[in-house]
Amino acid sequence: MQKLLHPKIQLGHWPTPLEPMLRINDMHKGPELWVKRDDCTGLAFGGNKTRKLEFLIADAQLKGATILLTAGGIQSNHARQTAAAAAKVGLGCELFLEQVKGVSEIDYSHSGNVLLDQLLGARLHLLPAGQDLDAVMALRAQTLAEAGQVPYVMPVGGSNAIGSMGYVNCGLELANQLQAQDISFDAIVLATGSAGTQAGLLAGLALAGIDIPVLGITVSRSSVEQCEKVLALLHEVQELLKQPKLHEDHVICFDQYYGSGYGHPTPSMIEAVRLAASLEGLFLDPVYSGKAFAGLLDLVRHGYFDSSDRVLFLHTGGTPGLFAYSECLSEC
């Protein structure tokens, strides 16, 4: 497998598996659905952020950091995995967690990822919705620096050009798996939010010389806004790689599936989560992979793919979030 020259550390279990969804495939009779199990990356219940953190932590160490700062929603998967990475390499960690408007689940503010953040030893700053998280982190970083610390600030989702290298690496890993298993895919479907996973994967596949459409199911914004966000980050990544830039036509997003807002439950998400669990023994999360898989199922039902296609679903993890949504997911 081609290797990136950018520094990284080892945090995850690679490569993550490729698996056919046999019972779901029997249910809908084509296209043939597969899953890449990036919920199995191994760090603190796994998830896509482990790939990004391998590069971000390496960068932090090169810069002499003593403490990591990052931000997200209350149930941020990136925050949980950042706290785990900090614990693993011996760095301090502070998380700036913003309340999400309109989510009224009884377990939302103290179960799931929030509980894990605390167990991992992170210091939590709980903020009301609408905060400028970058500004809050910058102010805290200044205070920490004045006290003799060396803070390293990560953006929401770890989605900058350095973090996105994790999914460039995933694109190269996938290319190696396709060759080893003598298999091909006609499309890849994933959840897209902070943009680093989709942008990095597009760059990685291009680096490997593979042209597979990557379809992003948005979790928080319109397809126009999301495509602009992904394209801008994609071009940053490709500039860092000294790679020819992909055209905007390569960035495809669907915005029909996130409902009334980020983190808000939807009937199709609940159906997708229950279907994957009951037919495949596969746990999706309510915020990202559940909505992305709901989008994939809807595209299948409406004939977006040919029945002879083979489609890969990238499971980005986030399953601890299930426990924060027990009210809407439980049938009791």
pLDDT-based confidence at 2, cuts 50/70/90?
low
Ranking 106-115, 142-151, 157-166, 255-264 by mean pLDDT, the lowest is: 106-115
- Which residue of the set 76, 111, 164, 268 is catalytic? 76
Q: Has residue 332 got a pLDDT over 70?
A: no
Distance CA 131, CA 55 (A): 27
Contact 320, 113 (CB under 8 A): yes
The pLDDT tens digits of the residues spanning 22-36 come to 999 999 888 999 999
Work out the average pLDDT over 204-212: 96
Work out the average pLDDT over 44-57: 98
pLDDT given for residue 29 in this prediction = 82
| pTM of the complete model | 0.96
The pLDDT tens digits of the residues spanning 284-298 come to 999 999 999 999 999
Place of tokens 């798996």: 177
**CA dihedral for 117, 108, 13, 169, sign (positive or negative):** negative
pLDDT given for residue 9 in this prediction = 97
15 preceded by a cis bond (ω within 30 of 0): yes
Contact 123, 93 (CB under 8 A): yes
Nearest to 220 by CA among 229, 212, 211: 229
Active site (annotated) includes residue 76: yes
Which residues, 6 or more positions from 199, have their beta carbon under 8 angstroms from its beta carbon? 159, 164, 167, 230, 231, 233, 234, 236, 237
